[in-house]
């Protein structure tokens, strides 16, 4: 269930806080799957412990009473302690501007708007009082939210949001370099494409579901930043991969077509000729002096 709960004003603009998830859950281990979406996270470790794994970094320990915050579009995975398990007490939300578009600014920008660099996540170790206070406010907000007590839920979610923001402000660590939102989206797209070059069924639709943003929005951001469309980029990366395989391996053309995500050799050859001015076989022969 997702609905608008409260309103904030920042940098002369109004944003509504729209809840994506307000729950607590217990689990062990992990799905072993990174995921990223256009949402902010508060996650209190209210039982046990876990590891927080941000893509491209070493997993970080989050012991009991840790408050984890994650900014939008940061690929992450939680790994619950296999012995003790872990309980997560969560508020996950989005900010929507006056036109209903999703805002992606780092949460810390609300606290220090003059800064230009922020960490993409943090783990704050709370004392018993702060952890218990956060837990009680989250449970009260969750109950009101699930019971559809709209006004009460709005007040309680508002309190929970600002409590987390205050804890982040008082106890949060030093900032580190972080790209702006557009660069962050482009980086996430590029990573997803590289992981999926060999998948025949990879599509912009699947990419949008993975990231949690509309495909038209992803295409607009990507084209604005790079000058080419998403579909053209995916094809170009597949052809680049095919050229590398033709130059450095002895796989036959059908194998290379399949490895590059093309269902049919004829379609692969046609696309390759369009991009490289020659067919794959001729390209390989020129590169290897007619050996093939």
Whether residue 163 contacts residue 119, with contact meaning beta carbons closer than 8 Å, is answered with: no
Lowest mean pLDDT among 12-16, 159-163, 269-273: 12-16
Whether 176 has a pLDDT exceeding 80, the answer reads: no
pLDDT value at residue 22: 95
Higher pLDDT, 176 or 263: 263
Whether 5 has a pLDDT exceeding 80, the answer reads: no
What share of the chain has pLDDT > 70, as a percent? 90
Average pLDDT, the chain: 85
Whether residue 53 contacts residue 121, with contact meaning beta carbons closer than 8 Å, is answered with: no
For residue 191, what are the CA distances in angstroms to 89, 199, 264?
A: 30, 14, 25
Whether 109 has a pLDDT exceeding 90, the answer reads: no
pLDDT value at residue 212: 64
Task: Report the 10 Å Cβ neighbour count for 6.
Answer: 19
Residues 6+ away with beta carbon under 8 Å from 48: 26, 64, 80, 81, 84, 85, 86, 87
Closest to 42 in 3D by CA, of 28, 24, 15:
24
pLDDT value at residue 289: 63
pLDDT value at residue 174: 37
Q: Which residue has the tokens 């036959």?
A: 252
User: pLDDT tens, 136-166?
Assistant: 999 999 999 999 988 889 989 999 999 999 8
Give the separation between CA 232 and CA 52, rounded to whole angstroms.
35
Lowest mean pLDDT among 12-21, 91-100, 106-115, 260-269: 106-115
pLDDT value at residue 113: 77
Lowest mean pLDDT among 89-93, 114-118, 170-174: 170-174
Whether residue 118 contacts residue 175, with contact meaning beta carbons closer than 8 Å, is answered with: yes
Give the separation between CA 37 and CA 90, rounded to whole angstroms.
15
> Secondary structure of 187-207 in the HEC alphabet?
HHHHHHHHHHCCCCCCCHHHH
Instruction: Tell how strand 50-54 and strand 60-62 pair up.
Output: antiparallel
Mean of pLDDT values over 44-52: 93
Whether residue 102 contacts residue 33, with contact meaning beta carbons closer than 8 Å, is answered with: no
pLDDT value at residue 164: 93
pLDDT band at 32 (very low <50, low <70, confident <90, very high): low
Whether 1 has a pLDDT exceeding 50, the answer reads: no
Mean of pLDDT values over 42-50: 95
pLDDT value at residue 98: 87
User: pLDDT tens, 198-241?
Assistant: 788 888 888 887 766 788 888 888 998 899 999 999 999 999 98
pLDDT value at residue 250: 84
- Would you state the structure tokens that stand for residue 167, as one six-digit string? 């804890």
User: Does the reported pTM lie above 0.85?
Assistant: no
């Amino acid at each position: 269930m997702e609905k608008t709960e409260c309103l904030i004003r920042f940098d002369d603009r109004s944003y509504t806080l729209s809840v994506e998830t307000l729950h607590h859950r217990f689990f062990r281990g992990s799905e072993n799957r990174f995921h990223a979406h256009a949402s902010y996270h508060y996650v209190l470790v209210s039982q046990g412990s876990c590891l927080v794994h941000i893509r491209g970094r070493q997993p970080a320990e989050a012991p009991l009473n840790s408050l984890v915050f994650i900014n939008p579009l940061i690929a992450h995975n939680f790994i619950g302690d296999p012995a003790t398990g872990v309980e997560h007490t969560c508020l996950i939300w989005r900010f929507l501007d006056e036109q209903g578009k999703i805002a992606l600014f780092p949460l810390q920008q609300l606290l220090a708007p003059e800064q230009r660099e922020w960490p993409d996540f943090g783990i704050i170790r709370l004392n018993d009082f702060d952890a218990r206070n956060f837990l009680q406010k989250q449970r009260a907000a969750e109950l009101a939210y699930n019971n559809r007590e709209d006004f009460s839920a709005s007040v309680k979610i508002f309190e929970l949001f600002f409590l987390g923001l205050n804890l982040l402000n008082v106890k949060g660590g030093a900032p580190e370099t972080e790209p702006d939102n557009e660069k962050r989206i482009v980086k996430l797209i590029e990573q997803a494409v590289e992981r999926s070059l060999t998948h025949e069924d990879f599509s912009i639709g699947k990419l949008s579901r993975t990231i949690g943003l509309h495909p038209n929005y992803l295409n607009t951001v990507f084209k604005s930043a790079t000058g080419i469309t998403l579909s053209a980029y995916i094809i170009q990366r597949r052809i680049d991969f095919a050229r590398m395989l033709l130059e450095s391996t002895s796989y036959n053309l059908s194998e290379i077509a399949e490895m590059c995500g093309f269902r049919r050799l004829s379609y692969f050859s046609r696309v390759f000729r369009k991009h490289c001015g020659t067919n794959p076989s001729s390209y390989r022969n020129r590169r290897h002096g007619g050996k093939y």
